[in-house]
Structure 1
Amino acid sequence: MYVAIDIGTSSLKAALVQGASFWVERMPLALIQSGVCAEQDPRQWLSGLATVLPRLLERSGVTASQIQALSVSSHSPSLVPVDAAGEAVYPCLTWQDRRALRQAEQIRQLTGEFSDPSFFEPKILWIKQEKPEVYAKTKAFLQPKDFVIFHLTGEMIIDRAAALFSKAHQLKEIDGAKLPRPVKNWEVVDQTTSKAKNLGLVAGIPVVAGGIDAYVEALGAGLIEDGQFGDVTGTSTCLSYCLNENKKVPGAAAHVIPECSLYILPMSSGGGTLAWYLHTLGGGLGYADLDGVASQAPPGANGLLFLPYLAGERSPIWDEGAKGVFFGITKTHNKADFLLAVLEGTAFAVRHSIDSLAEQGLIPREVKSTGGGSRLKVWNQIKADVTGLPYEQLEMVDGALLGGVLLGALATEKRPIGDLVKEYVRSKHIFTPHHPLVVYDELYEKYKKLYESTKELMH
């Protein structure tokens, strides 16, 4: 019997698994955005858990003392500076926050390595340089998940995969004493303290280190063997290629399980792009309407093309100044065309990232699809058609929750991870590419040219 918590960009979720039964509770989270800034108030994570965890236990009929283990995942690279009492001394700078542009460039100059404003190190330097009083108060820089873990256990940690991803410990400009100790993702950090009662739990529950949502989602998609590939589409899209740990690929990161690594392609476009369209241009459309409306337009959206760079873009172009574009609009285009163009534009972005894998000699053969975006049949089919790869829709769309359950089981049951994946990860449907779809190949080339032709105007 396991509990998994996931702190997302737009919602907080918790799941409880007992045998074949799976209960999920969620509640929305506020994201404060202004210009290049994107913040969350860490206190809402704790107040949210104090709501969803008791509801979860009530629905399942399980008592807190029956929980065998609990794990936590969260969005990242996101940063929470905390004092010695574990209280936030500044809002969380989320992965969408781009204010540390100058600091990212400074790190590039210092190290000769790529750095992005979303990464941990530029954010820490931004706080040090722009908010020195906050830096002085900071005992440790935590991820959202590790903020919650502290309030469960009293321990300040960072999970192994995130620690290896971060280069903060290599920079003399950052005080190493402010960096928490690393713990393996699949190991127990400690047990819940009596303070866990504030969240509806009891003392004595083992708390597993967990991990960055993208990494835990990869596990929840069943990516545990060399060559497996997954698409997790939530607010953003994250593509993951699983590698044997002995296979050395530049840029590969540690997985949340032993003996594996992940080549991660994080994208800024995804479900958030679709949510923007529905809110701004959807004219009353809801998610339940999308399959029907999108099918009213032919593949290619009657020549309408969309660049989905509403929040800049990470992989593969790494351009924080990239902008969204609708191209080719005529008076004959209608609501269905615009919707389909958005779905196709995000699919072209996925193909663009997949194509970049070839530079590392990594060639996906099929895609395991999870995340909230995987619920949409039309989107899965479009992605299959655009990429030319089968898209396997998984039964459990909350990959981070399922991955968290797997980490809890791995930490306490000591069973092989392959056996656990076979037990918990189930396929729902495979979307086979429709061949040939020449229209998508032609539009994809235009998609790439459109960005190259407009990027100077975007900055």
Structure 2
Amino acid sequence: MAYTLGIDIGTYETKGVLVDFEGGIVAQAARGHQMLVPQPGWAEHRPEEDWWGDFIYVCQALLRDSCVDPRDIKAVACSAIGPCMLPVDAEGTPLMNGVLYGVDGRAEAEVRELTDRIGEDVLIARCGNALTSQSVGPKILWLKRHRPELYAQTAHVLTSTSFLVQRLTGEVVIDHYTAANFAPLYDVDTQTWADDLADDILPLDKLPRLLWSGEVAGCITPAAAAETGLAPGTPVTAGTIDAAAEAFSVGVDRPGDMMMMYGSTIFIILRAAERVADPRIWYAPWLFDGEHASMAGLATSGTLTHWFRDQIARDLDPADAFQALANEAAASPPGANGLLQLPYFSGERTPIHDVHAKGALFGLNLTHTRGDMYRALIEGIAYGTRHVTDTFAELGHAPERLLAVGGGTKNALWLQATSDITGIDQVVCEKTTGASYGDAFLAALAIGGVAREDIVQWNPVAETITATPCVVYETGYRLFRRLYEQTKDIARVL
């Protein structure tokens, strides 16, 4: 038998799968970790413990539970949250915690300064993206200014996936899809690193070597084999960001396909026939040369459900809390009896790009229940999602097919509310394992074990969530948009 292994590092959990070449899952494993918030607006992980430590734990669990001979694993691929910023020294040792993706807004001043200096039009034309909290370039500049002693020791700046691949193979690489988030240091036309827009951020030789996600970066080293249990010499792909692997896991592979990832954040990827340039959304080359993707993401989604459970539902058994809360919310009607939730608990990413945006629960009175509040939270996330899908539609890129994936697909209320509020049907595939499953497929693809179209056989469609129009939601969406506009000045000074 022959197998591939995929491991994904998420915001709160690492997941791994061992898969045969027909797409059958032989073993699964997972391990949780925390997102560190050292101060408001910051978000970090510990690279040794949360990234590499989790990888080792999950890898060893897969080998133990499956009893598969490591020599029968023909390729490995990994993905992780991104884009992150991690400076390492010449030995590859992390110099600080990994700075996370757009939920970390510490470089707001650098974003503003670089945008003023370069110009948003130039940034979009050259880099494909305006600078936001999602951009790595400003965070490297923040490192240079606020941690100069660490900047001076930096041999390379990695992202989360790059760090894993470096530990596995010794190679310092990054895929183009991830690299596009390093604006203003990545040129989307030449698909190379470039510093002519800002030569004061970082010497380009400190950035990883560029590869496509389907390319092999290197092979498992003897040192990595000793730690993980994998066989030395096993090919390892360049990897990618978790959302891209998640999209590929459900067959997002043709123009017009859109993925809706229900995870710690809502993340959306549209496979586009052409490059879409607009400051409200993000652009990147897709996983393969000559292909395009447009992305969007909320800052807090599944993270909010965890917050609500931990703060408002402490009386419930954590193991059963989400189902109990879903049952309570189901007893509340659409519109949550007049409650509106702004889900901006870590600022907001697309399409408003406002690091100062705040969460709010508006309309409370003495008749409201916890179920009303939880339903309002779910609907608030769905309203934020509609703001994104409406933006794509305004740009002439409404999805032709919407595929849902991620842990949140187990929440029927959330799925249905999202379809009803956006007005878009959603396809749910048989396997909602997510990014790690997409990694396993990409690993098989990299060594010629499968063709791209084989993902349809690996992961067929299981059900369709049909959108049901609702007048209450139309009114709620208009009020949701107004509530943000009428409170954003207050939020900025809180």
- TM-score tier by shorter-chain length is over 0.9
The aligned counterpart of 1:39 is 44
Moved more, 359-368 or 175-184: 359-368
Question: Equivalent residue of 2:94, what SS?
Answer: coil
Name stretches of at least 5 consecutive residues in structure 2 with no aligned partner: 121-129, 186-193
Mapped to 2, the partners of 1:229 and 1:122 lie a distance apart of: 29
In the TM superposition, 1:36-435 aligns within 5 A as 36-44=41-49, 45-95=51-101, 96-113=103-120, 114-167=130-183, 168=185, 169-170=194-195, 171-173=198-200, 174-196=202-224, 197-244=226-273, 247-250=274-277, 251-285=282-316, 286-413=321-448, 415-418=450-453, 420-435=454-469
Name stretches of at least 5 consecutive residues in structure 1 with no aligned partner: none
The aligned counterpart of 2:124 is none
**Please, which of 4, 7, 21 is the counterpart of residue 25 of structure 2?**
21
**AA paired with 1:220?**
S
* Count of residues in correspondence between the two structures: 455
**Please, which of 409, 433, 438 is the counterpart of residue 471 of structure 2?**
438
Mapped to 2, the partners of 1:248 and 1:89 lie a distance apart of: 36
Question: Equivalent residue of 2:16, what SS?
Answer: strand
CA deviations over 1:84-124 (Å, ceiling 9, x no partner): 11110111111122111111112102221221133110110
**AA paired with 2:13?**
S
**AA paired with 2:479?**
K
Question: Equivalent residue of 2:238, what SS?
Answer: strand
Question: Equivalent residue of 1:252, what SS?
Answer: strand
Compute the displacement of 1:233 (Å).
1.5
Compute the displacement of 1:425 (Å).
2.0
TM-score of the aligned structures, taking structure 2 as reference length = 0.89
**AA paired with 2:28?**
V
Compute the displacement of 1:416 (Å).
3.0
Q: Is the 8 A contact 1:46 1:199 kept in 2?
A: no
Structure 1 residues 422 and 370, CA, compared in 2 at 3 Å: closer, same or farther?
A: same
Compute the displacement of 1:428 (Å).
2.4
Moved more, 262-271 or 111-120: 111-120
Q: Is the 8 A contact 1:395 1:425 kept in 2?
A: yes
Q: Is the 8 A contact 1:231 1:237 kept in 2?
A: yes
Question: Equivalent residue of 2:315, what SS?
Answer: coil
Q: Is the 8 A contact 1:278 1:284 kept in 2?
A: no
**AA paired with 2:34?**
A
Question: Equivalent residue of 2:133, what SS?
Answer: coil
Q: Is the 8 A contact 2:17 2:25 kept in 1?
A: no
**AA paired with 1:147?**
F
Q: Is the 8 A contact 2:83 2:160 kept in 1?
A: no
CA deviations over 1:268-292 (Å, ceiling 9, x no partner): 0210011111111124341222432
Mapped to 2, the partners of 1:162 and 1:198 lie a distance apart of: 27
Compute the displacement of 1:261 (Å).
1.5
Mapped to 1, the partners of 2:180 and 2:343 lie a distance apart of: 30
Mapped to 1, the partners of 2:93 and 2:313 lie a distance apart of: 40
**AA paired with 1:241?**
L
Mapped to 1, the partners of 2:440 and 2:52 lie a distance apart of: 20
**AA paired with 1:3?**
L
Question: Equivalent residue of 1:226, what SS?
Answer: coil
Q: Is the 8 A contact 1:17 1:23 kept in 2?
A: yes
CA deviations over 1:45-95 (Å, ceiling 9, x no partner): 222222221111111121211111101111112111111111101111111
Q: Is the 8 A contact 1:384 1:391 kept in 2?
A: yes
Mapped to 1, the partners of 2:242 and 2:448 lie a distance apart of: 22
Mapped to 1, the partners of 2:421 and 2:88 lie a distance apart of: 44
Question: Equivalent residue of 2:350, what SS?
Answer: coil
Mapped to 2, the partners of 1:117 and 1:441 lie a distance apart of: 30
Compute the displacement of 1:405 (Å).
1.4
Q: Is the 8 A contact 1:312 1:320 kept in 2?
A: yes
Is residue 2:10 matched to residue 1:8?
Answer: yes
Mapped to 2, the partners of 1:376 and 1:236 lie a distance apart of: 14
**AA paired with 1:275?**
H
Question: Equivalent residue of 1:249, what SS?
Answer: coil
Compute the displacement of 1:407 (Å).
0.9
In the TM superposition, 1:439-458 aligns within 5 A as 439-458=472-491
Alpha-carbon RMSD across the aligned residues, in angstroms, is: 1.5
Q: Is the 8 A contact 2:83 2:181 kept in 1?
A: no
Mapped to 2, the partners of 1:367 and 1:2 lie a distance apart of: 27
Q: Is the 8 A contact 1:225 1:260 kept in 2?
A: no
TM-score of the aligned structures, taking structure 1 as reference length = 0.96
CA deviations over 1:193-247 (Å, ceiling 9, x no partner): 0012212222111000110112221211211011111100111110111113xx2
Q: Is the 8 A contact 1:365 1:389 kept in 2?
A: no
**AA paired with 1:89?**
L
The answer to which structure, 1 or 2, has the higher relative contact order (CA under 8 A, 6+ apart) is: 2
Moved more, 43-52 or 306-315: 43-52
Mapped to 2, the partners of 1:410 and 1:375 lie a distance apart of: 29
Compute the displacement of 1:398 (Å).
2.8
Compute the displacement of 1:258 (Å).
4.2
Mapped to 1, the partners of 2:412 and 2:430 lie a distance apart of: 13
Structure 1 residues 97 and 164, CA, compared in 2 at 3 Å: closer, same or farther?
A: closer
Compute the displacement of 1:415 (Å).
4.0
Between the aligned residues of both structures, percent identity stands at: 31
Q: Is the 8 A contact 2:325 2:371 kept in 1?
A: no
Structure 1 residues 370 and 22, CA, compared in 2 at 3 Å: closer, same or farther?
A: farther
Mapped to 1, the partners of 2:335 and 2:172 lie a distance apart of: 50
